[in-house]
Amino acid sequence: MKIFTGRAHPALAEHICEYLGLPLGRAIMGNFPDGEISCKIDEDVRGRNVFLIQPTCPPVNESLMELLIMIESFRRASAERINAVIPYFGYARQDRKDEGRVPITAKLVANLITRAGADRVLTMDLHAAQIQGFFDIPVDHLYAAPVIDEHFKAMNIAKDDLVVVSPDEGSIKRALAHMSRLGGRLAIIDKRRSSAEKTKQANIIGGKIEGCVALIFDDMISTANSICGAAEVMHQHGARQVFLAATHGLLVGNAVEHIQKAPIDGLVLTDTTPMPSEKQMPKLTVLSIAPLLGEAIKRIHRNESVSKLFV
């Protein structure tokens, strides 16, 4: 087994290698003067089981193209099996045609990864679970929920005071999964979307919020407009404390400013994407999913069950 990384998130690859007790594979990545990506695998991978760590996070196009070029490099270097480990899968928002004359980019990217030569994909908290079916190769879909829920369990919040909040109708199933592990009650924000960037939170579906601790879960935080709006609604209805949690913290645009102004007591993210210093905040906690990914990689290499990680 060999572990390699692109330039999207080398720190995560290093932490995974620490968990596995393996050295990080040598690959030389660069750019030609015109911006094209260059790649050279700097060690023998013939007949090896290769795992390539590369979330397709911002800059998304650069990260995705680098992933494809590295997969092509391993294929031509005669690696026996190429496993694309994509902790954050970009281009996942358009998973269906919700209006005329628009692409299904999630399927397009799945085709590109498959055609480049990947034999398997390992990913985490896809924006839409059905994206697994867009691939013609095996996909192992992990969830960060156990890691995030352990963090909140350690806070010893009384179950009678706990409200697990879904920020929109599409996240109800995710919220129910968290509630099954943490206890408490369920509340749903009635979110109305006016455009791709703007949403309006209207009503709360659920029981009494006043005096409770609200935990708002989502799969990703991009501009933070939606989840901060949900936090504001909880605050207006009298929640004693409000915590936000998501697997993928993209934090693009004015997200950091929105979060700092929001009436929240904490934000929990995982390290599926890099968290540079300019995105660090006093109320932010970043949890590592490297042990979870490392264990999944070990099980895939040994042809063992990955689903047992969530039993």
Residue 221 identity:
I
Q: At a CB cut-off of 8 Å and minimum separation 6, what does 133 contact?
A: none
**Residues 258, 210: Cα–Cα separation, whole Å:** 23
Supply the Cα-derived Rg of the chain in whole angstroms: 20
Q: Which of 2, 97, 173, 191 is catalytic?
A: 191
Give just the sign of the alpha carbon dihedral 58, 61, 67, 73.
Answer: negative
Angle between helices 60-76 and 105-116 (to 10 degrees): 30
Asked whether 150 and 121 are in contact (CB, 8 A), the reply is no
What distance lies between CA 131 and its chain's CA centroid?
14
The answer to whether 191 is a known catalytic residue is yes
**Residues 177, 221: Cα–Cα separation, whole Å:** 19
Which amino acids are annotated catalytic? 191
